[in-house]
Amino acid sequence: MTPEAISEAPAKVNLYLHVTGRRADGLHELDSLVVFASIGDSIIARPAPEGKITLSVEGPRADGVPTGSDNLVAKAARLLADAAGLRTGAAITLIKRLPMAAGIGGGSADAAAALKALIRLWDVDIPEPLAADIALKLGADVPVCLAGESAFISGVGEHIKRAPKLPPAWLVLANPGAPLSTPDVFAAREGGFSEPAPFSRPPDGARELAELLSVRGNDLAAAACRLEPKAGATLAALESQDGALLARMSGSGATCFALFAEESEARTAAGRLASLQPDWWVAAAKLL
């Protein structure tokens, strides 16, 4: 057993998200291009007495984060221990930088990072299919966060296909401080279903990536904006920034993003937006 294992949990961003159908069990089928940004939470796992798993939360967004058994990080630890037949303990620290219920996979990314850290801490040999199964039990976004690379997802999130190489680009992420419930957003969605729209060739630069995304959308955005008008205001604010090639909502919101070709443009836009909206969470991040 190692004395400490650290794993990063980068923000997950849906560059587009199509709802393609609904299964008999009520779950929705999706088609989405998922990428990761150079900002996120961190997991630190250390040894603990046998059978004892504890979670503490630190960092600028720690307030309000549950530390009990309902936290996905704690659930991930117990599922992994059960799957590996272990009674080994762990003291887990979550460094929380991303807002909660924000559509950028904070809890899902944290759970995936916890699995990675604990596999190293406990030195367990978990086959990839079993790890993916554990991840899916934790939530639809956890498998792609565990894979940790740009990918097209389908099904409810369990089918993952590596995306073509994406060009260098920057994102400005903004959340107006308005949490949105994913089930509520899905329930409020109106209209039919969209066709899957993955692409196979690498875009030649950020502008071509924006062009490809412009004919795709987020099928949850309209419902999210009806439930939380601040989400629409966030989108409009991002669209108005100089250099923004495209603005969209990520996941079920309320976090939105704008795509930029240059770091300087993204950082300038983030600084301007943060000064205009000091109560919002705003960050410039590189597309990983």
Domain chopping of the chain, boundaries: 5-161, 165-286
Q: Is the pLDDT of residue 133 over 80?
A: yes
CATH class as words, domain 5-161: alpha beta
Kindly state the tokens that stand for 92.
Answer: 């887990």
Catalytic (active site) residue 141: yes
Per the annotation, the verdict on 12 as an active-site residue is yes
Per-residue pLDDT for 115 more than 90? yes
Whether residue 2 is predicted with pLDDT greater than 80 in this model: the reply is no
Q: How far apart are the first and last CA of the chain?
A: 30
Alpha-carbon distance values, 113 to 33, 49, 213 (Å)? 20, 21, 28
Q: Cα(269)–Cα(171) distance, rounded to whole angstroms?
A: 10
**Band of residue 69 on the pLDDT scale cut at 50, 70, 90:** confident
Residue 24 has pLDDT above 70, yes or no: yes
* Average per-residue pLDDT for the chain: 95
pLDDT at 230: 96
Mean pLDDT of 257-278: 98
Catalytic residue among 31, 41, 141, 219: 141
Q: Are 216 and 199 in contact (CB under 8 A)?
A: no
CA distance linking residue 87 with residue 198, whole number of Å: 43
pLDDT at 1 over 80: no
Pick the catalytic residue from 12, 96, 116, 230: 12
Architecture, CATH, for domain 165-286: 2-Layer Sandwich (3.30)
